[in-house]
Amino acid sequence: MHVVRKLFLSDWVVWVLSLLCCWIIAAFLCIPWFGHLPNGLNRDEAALGYNAYSLLKTGRDEFGVKWPVSITSFGDQKLPVYVYTLIPFIAAFGLKSEVIRLPSLMAGFVVIAGMGLLALRISTSLQLKRNQRLLLSFLTMLFIAVSPWSTHFSRVAYEAHLSMALFILGFLSYISAIASKHTRPQRMLLIFAGAAWSLTLLTYHSYQILTPLFICGLAVLDFARIKKLDKVGVGTACLIGVITVILLYKGGVWQANQVKNSGITPFRKEELLEKANEYRAVLPGDNAWYERVFTNPAVEGVTVLSQNLTKTISGDFFFVHGSGHGDHNPGNMNNFHLYVAPLLLFGLLELWEYRKDHNMRRISLWLCFGLLAPALTIQPNHEVRMSPIFPLLEFVGAFGAVMFVTHIRQKWIQVVVCLGFLFVVFISSARFFIQYAYIIPSRIESHYSYEVLAHALQKYQSPQVSVITNAPNTSPYIWYLVDSSFDPALLQSQIERYPADKEGFLHVKRIGKLYFITPNWDDLLTWSKEEPLIIILNPKEIPTDKRKDPHMTKLDTFTNEHGEVIYEVWKLNYVNKIAR
């Protein structure tokens, strides 16, 4: 009986039970109405799904490129790992919204488990007591499981979420290899870490900054330890990294990044020089020494970077209102629960006491470089670009909670505080889910309207009749391709695109006889003299005088999830009228 009790209460059994508990809580928040909350795929999700479907059917993406490393999509150059991960899921379950989002949901569960193991590993190196270690791991997993950012990321197809899981697994493998004293486990862990970190470079762009800087920082910090590790493991991990870099270069990712970054960087030389010239214009003298020293592109660049780094440390962004981006932050909701804020401050103060511990220095590198990546863009407070540090902040908050409880000497007070805190977590999580599932969807316009348009296009498309709809810049074609599971082989002969715009985006003009154009009614009238036209537009886009035109016949209406008419279908049949 004693042996059974000892086995049941072992650290790993308790940890597994804690993990299962947190997974169940996460499932309650992430799985109900999965695939329909948020309602409607956003265009990036749809593009990820259709390109995976195209590769499955033809071995080529929507541009006809064979097994690409850089996927052109709308001209935003998507990385390949999420798309390739989708292929077996689409092969098994079909091209559906819930299938497209499935890898991100699975990544969420991996992040919970990975951070729990990471908390356990770090607390062991800090020589915390058994109860503190287990509580820290449990609270880290719980905080992530109920967090607003994790719930939303798990419900949307996010390349960044998959990359987050890979990064955490790589870090966990690395510190486990450092701690291991046996050659074979060291080798396997190092190879796995090298593979996981290399995959982050092929999954989401922010990690192309974070991961190399983080690895370089670890190489400096742990140089003496790395020299003692298994040489085959270290060499193989480095080789995997080198092959990945070559793949990125040969696959056109570096070249594509130059185009992509030109639209999001605040460090364009022309803009920095223009700003410097504004200051020089009001200073006395002509090209004086102080003008060259204090007003130049380099000084302006450092100023912008400093300002962006300051913006990343924003309580309002983390705990009150996020970026307000409709896809990444629906309803302008908080990214973290408010109770994490004081615990985060307390955790940082407590972690300072352990600043000499090597794992503390490693996570400090993670935090610093994770903040640097979004600071290099024009919008530093951006959920997806900032996401690499989100699970780390939950860990720091959990550490603060554990240390706070530890400072209480009376056991009964500790129990009361823990129960009270869990009650706060429950209320906060329930309130968030009500807001996310019911209040926000009733207040904001979802992407479901584009799926409705896709249904309408599919219903009325015909080889004999041209169908016209609007908004080419929002890429409505991609929802049509997904909704109809359009034959990728046929697409190449039927698709026509507009020239790239000034930001490098590519929009579709037509697919067969489906036209995505900004309607000019005079042109449509001329066109209709050659053939009948089906016009599918928002009611606001159809002028009153056109509704009264005898050549116009209303055929159908389509409504959104709120029962509002968002598309009307009209037939412009000038040919038949003239014939009569």
3-state helix, strand, coil in the chain (%, to 5): 65, 5, 25
Residues 6+ apart with CB under 8 A from 351: 360, 396, 399
Using an 8 Å Cβ cutoff, are 130 and 11 in contact? yes
Residue 520 falls in which region: left (phi positive, over 0), alpha (psi -120 to 50) or beta? beta
Q: Given strand 514-516, what is the order of strands in its sheet?
A: 495-497, 508-511, 514-516, 466-469, 533-537, 565-572, 552-559
Residues 6+ apart with CB under 8 A from 203: 79, 81, 82, 159, 160, 162, 163, 166
DSSP one-letter string for 163-228: HHHHHHHHHHHHHHHHH--SHHHHHHHHHHHHHHHHHHHTT-TTHHHHHHHHHHHHHHHTHHHHHH
Quick one: DSSP state of residue 263? T
Peptide bond into 38 cis (omega under 30): yes
Q: 173-177 contacts: CB < 8 A, separation 24 or more? A: 174/218, 175/118, 175/121, 175/122, 175/359, 175/362, 176/121, 177/229, 177/233
Half-sphere exposure of 443 (CA within 13 A, CB side): 11
Quick check: helix, strand or coil at residue 397? helix
Q: Residue 580: its pLDDT value, please?
A: 41
Q: Residue 227: its pLDDT value, please?
A: 92
Tell me the one-letter amino acid at 99.
Answer: V
Q: Residue 267: its pLDDT value, please?
A: 74
pTM for the full model? 0.92
Q: Residue 140: its pLDDT value, please?
A: 97
Query: What does the pLDDT profile of the chain (580 residues) look like in tens digits?
Result: 444 455 446 788 999 999 999 999 999 999 999 989 999 899 999 999 999 999 999 999 999 999 999 998 888 889 999 999 999 999 999 999 999 999 999 999 999 999 999 999 999 999 899 999 999 999 999 999 999 999 999 999 999 999 999 999 999 999 999 998 888 999 999 999 999 999 999 999 999 999 999 999 999 999 999 999 999 999 999 999 999 999 988 887 766 666 566 667 777 777 777 777 777 777 776 666 666 667 777 888 888 888 888 888 888 999 998 888 888 998 889 999 999 999 999 999 988 999 889 999 999 999 999 999 888 888 889 899 999 999 999 999 999 999 999 888 888 888 898 899 999 999 999 999 999 999 998 888 788 999 999 999 999 998 888 999 988 888 999 999 999 999 999 998 899 999 988 777 889 999 999 999 988 888 888 888 888 999 999 999 998 888 888 889 999 999 988 888 999 999 998 765 544 4
Using an 8 Å Cβ cutoff, are 469 and 453 in contact? yes
Q: Distance between CA atoms of 397 and 402, rounded to whole angstroms?
A: 9
Using an 8 Å Cβ cutoff, are 44 and 82 in contact? no
Report CA dihedral (540, 542, 547, 551) to the nearest 10 degrees.
-160
